[in-house]
A and B are shown apart, each in its own frame.
Chain A
Amino acid sequence: MDIQLKKGMLEICVLAELQKQDSYGYQIIKDLSNLIEISESTLYPILKRLEQKNSLTTFTLEYEGRLRKYYRITEYGKSRINEFCDEWSAVTNIINFIKGAKQ
């Protein structure tokens, strides 16, 4: 898949995962890896970018004596998911057009 496209998709996937519940790094990877190829080193910059753009906030909880950094989606983050879905319907139209032209 095109890298820029995948990057955009991954950001939205992470946001969608957080819309279900607050989550932490490793859990996000486990949940998303069935769906899309994602590694620890890919997730880290994505989380940083989303945090920088105020799409998510972070907090730390203790779990079995160790600290876990949790990520929580913001209202702005939620609005980005909606935006993506709206834009995507336009993309679907384009794809149909491309498929139609091939035949």
Chain B
Amino acid sequence: MKKLEFLNFLRKNLRHFGSNNVNDAISYYDEIINEKMRDGLNEYDAVASLGEPNKLVADTASEMVENNKVKNPSRGALYILGILFMSPVLFPLAMVVLTLYIVIFTVWISLIIAFGATSIGLVIGGLGALVDWNGGASLIILGCCLIGAVILFVLFWVTVKYGKDFINLITIKLVRKIKNINQRGTK
């Protein structure tokens, strides 16, 4: 790969991580390649000495996510995942991460649906008790159902509201793991 080709590859694959971050990384690698060529390496060898481009991109991107330089860590992680999938060496790792992600998202969505649906169900059930009028007992059932519905609604709301933060938190941890595995693989 020639230098320009390599730098374009970086730019293309890091484009979702903020233009300041990307320009900085590019000028760093540009400088390194120039210095290596000044030291006598030809252009191809200088680029090749940096290692597999996909790995380098994944490393750089992980660092940006981990250091909170990216606005939306979850989205950043998905891009990193895409990069991992492009590299044959990192493909198994990508599969593991993708599976984990699907599990986390599924659990999150299931919780939201479960809390929401049960809450609505309880309200309907309580009203049903009114229709089937049975004196005081009906009112007690309605009361219990409404209390249950409120509790579940709060749980529903908390899951929706803080779920995203939680997933972002997990993402940052996950990305850190990926990076460590990635670096171990470089040796």
Report which A residues bind B (CB closer than 8 A): 3, 24-27, 37, 39-42, 44-45, 47-49, 52, 64, 66-69
Contact = CB atoms under 8 A, between A and B. Distances in A.
B32 interface: yes
**What is the predominant secondary structure among interface residues of chain A facing chain B?**
helix
The 10 closest A-B pairs by CB, nearest first: A26-B35, A45-B63, A41-B56, A3-B180, A40-B32, A41-B59, A44-B28, A26-B32, A40-B50, A66-B34
Contacts of A47: 28
Nearest to A49: B67
B67 A66 contact: no
A39 B28 CA distance: 13
Interface string B144-187: 00000000000000000000000000000000000010011011
B124 to A, nearest CB: 54
B27 interface: yes
B18 to A, nearest CB: 13
Given A3-B184, A26-B36, A48-B67, A41 B31 contact: no
